Chain A
């Protein structure tokens, strides 16, 4: 089984701890002038997202986690599972609500998502940085307001709610930055 020595530790390295996959967030080398060296790390549990501290004896080996990131196309949601497909191998994979989480509110069919695979199965799904979605509900804007000093909430076809300028209307398609969850422009 693949493993990493503490000298290979760096941000982003995927390791197994207590049976869960983790990603190293921070790694610090600590050593008394005359004594044992340690690696003090902060690691993120890739299942729960929780960040915890962990200390290793320098020179120890840790099992590598079989974690890789890949781009998968979102095919459809069957009411229980989200179905994805690899655009080249056409291999299909499914992910449940725990894995997809909040991303469900930002993706629609055909979107290509960044998916983290653990032992070949989806562990987390990220929406594309920018998505184009249709507005299904919003208050009609005031007549004559074209610049929009303020804004108003708008519900999108996926259920997500973003703040949009007053001039944007129901039925229009808009571009959204999913990282900040904010309106970018009309599409």
Chain B
């Protein structure tokens, strides 16, 4: 089981141009203090619940396997690698943390910088802080409750309400389409009808169209006034989640939204090595 909420961000300082006399960071004293408080509360939260803080390597010999992410590459030269060896900065601490779990660590968490190539925007940065934690033998429902508890604590909003909604329900209610049945041609039509500018000129897979509709038409309204969990994703968007069999198989994964912003993603881990391959 994994969850990686992106924390309400550190304000990072971009590299100043060499000629610029402005050396001051763009953050404020108040923002630094708020961040320190948040980290202290977060550590208290997991400490009280018996979840151990761990630290795992940032550098790895392999790049990420997630097709939606890209790794940054660096290089080590020195003892053991006289000719230099390429090393990738992790996109999440998932794999080394799973090795700790497999070796019997019990529940663990980590707050660390992660790195993603190709991502820069208002809500994206090539480096950002991520919280990742694992609970063994838990249900997704229990994990979502814990995410909600943590958010209420960190946001100092003890009465923040929680909503649950399936991925299918979200698309049915808001766009009148079934994301599990529809094909790419009809998704394109739906995107055009929904007024996504330039939708007619895009060439996307089914999941690409669903991502387009989610980011352009659905996300801005998600989590208004309540922490909103979207559950039961299409198996094609399972990542490393387990698939729950049924008339309509779904990936046992959730995403959590607040005020139009994706905060976290969690899932029931796929532990069948054969299926993973």
Contact = CB atoms under 8 A, between A and B. Distances in A.
Interface stretch (A52-60, A79-87, A105-113, A137-145): A52-60
Contacts of A28: 121-122
Interface in A77-105: none
B258 to A, nearest CB: 14
Given A34-B66, A36-B207, A57-B202, A7 B118 contact: yes
Contact of B68 (A36, A53, A54, A56): A36
Interface residues of A, number: 20
A7 B121 CA distance: 11
Interface string A34-49: 1111101000000000
B80 to A, nearest CB: 35
A148 B262 CA distance: 59
Contacts of A76: none
A131 to B, nearest CB: 34
Given A28-B122, A29-B124, A34-B237, A55 B199 contact: yes
B232 to A, nearest CB: 15
B202 A55 contact: yes
Contacts of B239: 34
A33 B255 contact: yes
A30 interface: yes
A32 interface: yes
Contacts of A55: 196-199, 202, 212, 216
A32 B262 contact: yes
B193 interface: no
B76 to A, nearest CB: 27
Contacts of B198: 53-56
Contacts of B196: 55
The winner among A30, A40, A56, A58 for most chain B CB atoms within 10 A is A30
Interface string B195-213: 0111100111001100110
21 contacts: A28-B122, A30-B121, A31-B119, A31-B121, A32-B68, A32-B211, A32-B214, A32-B255, A33-B4, A33-B262, A34-B237, A35-B207, A35-B214, A36-B207, A37-B118, A38-B212, A38-B216, A40-B216, A54-B197, A55-B212, A58-B118
